A and B are shown apart, each in its own frame.
Chain A
Amino acid sequence: MMKELRLMKGNEALAEAAIRYGADGYFGYPITPQSEVIEYLMAERPERRTGMVVLQAESEVAAINMVYGGAACGKRVMTSSSSPGVSLKMEGVSYIAGAELPCLVANIQRGGPGLGTIQPSQADYFQATKGGGHGDYRMIVLAPASVQEMSDFVSLGFDLAFKYRNPAMILSDGVIGQMMEKVELQPQRARRTEEEIIQECPWATTGKPATRGHNIITSLELDPGRQEKFNLKLQKKYKEIERNEVRYEEINCDDADYILVAFGSSARICQKAMDIARAEGIKVGLLRPITLWPFPYKPIKTLAQHAKGFLVVELNAGQMIEDVQLAVAEKVKVEHFGRYGGIIPAPGEVLEALKSKVIGG
């Protein structure tokens, strides 16, 4: 089959991928730098292409609760926003995790805290991977580093969300959302029929037949004994996800003396820094976590046996570094380099930081 190549923004690729995956609904509210998602969906009229519902909600809170409702019916539903808007959605995400429902949330991060700036940032790592909402829950977090992955991770995110009945997040940023690259689009899939949903999602509220009891979707359980049991069940599921779903990319790590660890747009900048370093004769490798939760602790632990030092590069003041430090366990030096508030470092700055903080420091 002929490949379908297009030049698209990351935000547009994400939106097109949702239509092609056969998503049933998108509920969102505009915010820079992710507004192209809803703009593209509105312009494409997916209700004519596949019957997919696209709705601009009255607020981010409304949008995530529409997702909650759609997910309860076994529908493939999603929302997207940028940092301040994602904070508003966090209550809903916690409820969705507590009700064990699948959904996809995309965060095209901008600098914070508060309303902050509209320029790119990765300062929502903690929010995405360590909680965000309340309660002991986990979200599967995918970090795309290209427009292609903005497209591909829509299907991956939905697949994982439904496999584990758990919310999944695409944690992107203003660089990947706004930039255009070549993207190979996936073929159009059909939306699931009501019969398929009944078969594949026996837990969903699809209307009660005489043959089974009520399906009740709730995150409320007043009996602490039963709630503890439910928490244990969740934790068992999270362990299974940690065992099965860790994804990462290693570039030039085999012979590397120094390892850069970075995700998303930072990983792209680090790749160039690595190329410059290698041209100078410094053996640098790059480990790029693709799933931020579950985090690739093991491969980092393995690299720590031979590497002389690590530099964690993030568009924040030091968040993922805590997970890298856990994995390295003080075997070798782990340093951080970040820019904040929407400033994006050039590859040369990363290399300078590696030299001053890790190699020379």
Chain B
Amino acid sequence: MTEEIIIAGFGGQGVLSMGKILAYSGIMQDQEVSWMPSYGPEMRGGTANVTVILSDERISSPVLNQFDTAIILNQQSLDKFESTVKPGGVLLYDPNGIVHPPTRKDIAIYRIRAAEFASKVGLAKVFNMIVLGAFLKIKPIVDESNIEKGLQKSLPERHHKMIPENLKAVKIGKDNVELMQEV
């Protein structure tokens, strides 16, 4: 199994940390992982993205231009990355702020109203985990127990008290992801 993912949105939405938790969860189940962020000027107040690869084999290129899954959290990122999803692949997006929804017909498209749920249940800080939950419902590539272990590894100890909230957010994402279009 190899899963090549791009996660893209605004800086501050938790794009990079979502990727990190996913990568750590992969390590917890003995997989090879890579996490390659965009860094530099575009991070400061602009868009941020990270390429995450989980694989049972040694990972070759950490830099890709085609992905199995694109997780998209703003319009700029949708415009930039919709075309990079492999035919038959998955595009998951949060409709918050999206004016022009995806148009591809050869990919599966899912929607998660993560920003809306996050503010409704007062879990704004774990918005990204709602998105992660939605992704894991579509592609259960890591076990729930390994997500918890991944959180323990990637969060500093002083934030461990937030782990139950994070897991609750994952569940909200799993329960509320909507299939918009099959391949």
Contact = CB atoms under 8 A, between A and B. Distances in A.
Interface residues of A, number: 26
B40 A119 contact: yes
* B contacts with A: majority SS: mixed
Interface string B127-144: 000000000000000000
B103 interface: no
Contacts of A275: 60
A7 B27 contact: yes
Given A32-B40, A118-B40, A181-B35, A7 B20 contact: yes
A268 B154 contact: no
Given A5-B27, A180-B23, A182-B27, A272 B61 contact: yes
Nearest to A286: B60
A180 B65 CA distance: 18
B75 interface: no
Contacts, number: 74
Nearest to B51: A179
B40 to A, nearest CB: 5
B32 A182 contact: yes
Contacts of B40: 32-33, 118-119
Contact of A179 (B27, B32, B34, B41): B34
B48 interface: no
B65 A346 contact: yes
Interface in A337-361: 344, 346-349
A109 interface: no
Interface of A: 5, 7, 32-33, 118-119, 174-175, 178-182, 265, 268-269, 271-275, 344, 346-349
28 contacts: A5-B27, A7-B23, A7-B27, A7-B35, A7-B153, A32-B39, A174-B39, A175-B36, A178-B36, A179-B62, A180-B23, A180-B35, A181-B33, A181-B34, A182-B27, A182-B32, A182-B33, A265-B63, A268-B60, A269-B60, A272-B60, A273-B61, A346-B63, A346-B65, A347-B60, A347-B61, A347-B64, A349-B65
